[in-house]
């Protein structure tokens, strides 16, 4: 018998080209009066923040803007945005951008109604009360943060990426508009796309998986595998952009309800110490961690290989599972995601930090969800192997 499982999604989801134009009308229906728009300088310069301001204004909704999220989210951004929210007498938050603005917005929203600073909520289930409403409008097809109960905020004092999880972090409305991804540069399309693929793969093999998430995972893997190269090669390919956006959203729903695993656990310390984009560090680890993990659930990895379009008919289960590793390496090469070495990471420095990075990975809890449970030493060895094999 299957035990009862909770399955969470945003209360409302709008998907499709032009969906962002409905933000004002949807917020007006709910009686919201003034938004804090959380974004970054790039979205500001591209005019996307201005468009959202206008869509809100057209429905009689005022707004204030905090566009200071210019790296992966840190405690300072949350504090600054919260101050703008309070000074502006806002009553809800709209995030416009990639995972960084969305994660920052979610943290701001819960601090409006919960005391203290965001650091004290590190971990799972520590947020005591619902935050103010959040409308998430992603401009990349990757993080899935518009559909998750998580936010990741870096504490710059300790160089630790804090994973914070709570049902109260789920956005109220997700507006998934592929038109907003057209301006993404190739490097962002590649990194965020692989991030989404990792979400789907890890959610499918996670020991916390459930039947509902399996459906979203396999659909996301198929959509991303068949469209990421085209979206990277031609940013104006709207069919590919639409498939990527839908796949990234589905992957976000999936991992929010079944959790990620070893890749994500190991990836966060790389980002914290070497300031490498999350999707890029995922890409650096994915092949070697998958190869390590295959034996823990070869059937599931074989099914992933098939979903990625690999020829598996006539192969043994382990042979079919192994096709995933080849598919990942080929994909990362095709869309030219740089290796840790190419990004200037020094091998000696990585080896020096690997033990503490392994400890941080284990502390995150994600490696415990992996189909093959790694030891601390195996995680250290995997960091070095990922560097050497690239």
| pLDDT tier for residue 158 given thresholds of 50, 70 and 90 | confident
- Classified as helix, coil or strand, 117 is coil
Rounded distance between C-alpha atoms, residue 280 and residue 335, angstroms: 11
Rounded distance between C-alpha atoms, residue 6 and residue 340, angstroms: 38
For residue 1, what pLDDT is reported?
73
Using one digit for the tens of pLDDT, what is the confidence trace for 355-370? 999 999 999 899 999 9
Secondary element (H or E) of residue 173: strand 173-176
For residue 149, what pLDDT is reported?
96
- Residue range 169-184: average pLDDT? 96
Write the DSSP symbol of residue 4. Answer: P
For residue 3, what pLDDT is reported?
80
Helices (H), the chain: 23-29, 41-46, 48-57, 75-87, 99-113, 186-205, 211-233, 238-258, 262-274, 278-293, 298-307, 317-334, 347-364, 376-389
Residue 247 has pLDDT above 90, yes or no: yes
Residue 2 has pLDDT above 80, yes or no: no
Neighbours of 188 (CB within 10 A): 21
| pLDDT tier for residue 92 given thresholds of 50, 70 and 90 | very high
Give me the residues paired with residue 138 across strands: 97
For residue 159, what pLDDT is reported?
80
- Are 371 and 300 a contacting pair, CB within 8 Å? yes
Write phi, then psi, for 130 (nearest 5 degrees): -60, 145
- Are 261 and 369 a contacting pair, CB within 8 Å? yes
For residue 160, what pLDDT is reported?
82
- Are 332 and 194 a contacting pair, CB within 8 Å? yes
- Classified as helix, coil or strand, 151 is strand
Neighbours of 389 (CB within 10 A): 12
Helices (H), 114-185: none
Q: Percent of the chain beyond pLDDT 70?
A: 100
For residue 207, what pLDDT is reported?
97
Rounded distance between C-alpha atoms, residue 178 and residue 141, angstroms: 8
- Classified as helix, coil or strand, 93 is strand
- Residue range 190-216: average pLDDT? 97
Rounded distance between C-alpha atoms, residue 160 and residue 152, angstroms: 10
Domains defined along the chain, listed by start: 12-180 (3.40.50.1970), 186-389 (1.20.1090.10)
Secondary element (H or E) of residue 161: strand 160-165
Residue 31 has pLDDT above 80, yes or no: yes
Selected residue with higher pLDDT from 6 and 109: 109
- Among candidates 221, 185, 183, which has minimal Cα distance to 336? 185
For residue 374, what pLDDT is reported?
98
User: pTM for this one?
Assistant: 0.94
């Amino acid at each position: 018998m299957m035990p009862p499982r909770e399955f969470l999604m945003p209360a409302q989801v709008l998907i499709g080209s032009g969906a962002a134009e409905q933000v004002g009308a949807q917020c007006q229906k709910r009686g919201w009066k003034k938004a804090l728009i959380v974004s970054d300088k790039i979205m500001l310069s591209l005019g996307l923040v201005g468009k959202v301001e206008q869509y809100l204004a057209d429905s009689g909704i005022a707004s204030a803007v905090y566009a200071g999220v210019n790296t992966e989210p840190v405690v300072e951004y949350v504090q600054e945005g919260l101050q703008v929210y309070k000074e502006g007498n806002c009553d809800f938050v709209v995030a416009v951008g990639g995972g960084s603005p969305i994660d920052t917005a979610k943290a701001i929203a819960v601090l409006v109604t919960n005391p203290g600073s965001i650091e004290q909520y590190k971990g799972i289930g520590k947020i005591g009360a619902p935050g103010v409403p959040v409308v998430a409008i992603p401009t990349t097809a990757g993080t899935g943060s518009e559909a998750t109960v998580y936010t990741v905020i870096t504490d710059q004092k300790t160089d630790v990426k804090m994973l914070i999880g709570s049902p109260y972090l789920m956005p109220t409305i997700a507006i998934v508009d592929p038109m907003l991804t057209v301006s993404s540069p190739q490097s962002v399309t590649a990194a965020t796309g692989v991030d989404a693929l990792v979400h789907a793969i890890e959610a499918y093999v996670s020991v916390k998986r459930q039947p509902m998430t399996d459906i979203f995972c396999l659909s996301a893997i198929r959509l991303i595998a068949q469209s990421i190269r085209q979206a990277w090669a031609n940013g104006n390919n709207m069919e590919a952009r639409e498939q990527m956006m839908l796949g990234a959203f589905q992957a976000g729903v999936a991992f929010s309800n079944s959790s990620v695993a070893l890749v994500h656990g190991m990836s966060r310390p790389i980002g914290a110490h070497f300031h490498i984009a999350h999707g890029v560090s995922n890409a650096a680890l994915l092949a070697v961690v998958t190869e390590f993990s295959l034996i823990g659930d070869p059937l599931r990895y074989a099914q992933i290989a098939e979903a990625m379009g690999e020829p598996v008919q006539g192969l043994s289960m382990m042979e079919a599972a192994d096709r995933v590793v080849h598919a990942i390496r080929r994909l990362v090469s095709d869309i030219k995601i740089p290796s840790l070495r190419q990004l200037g990471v020094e091998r000696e420095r990585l080896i020096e930090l690997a033990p503490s990075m392994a400890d941080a990975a284990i502390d995150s809890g994600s490696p415990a969800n992996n189909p093959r449970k790694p030891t601390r030493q195996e995680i250290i060895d995997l960091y070095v192997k990922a560097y050497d094999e690239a």
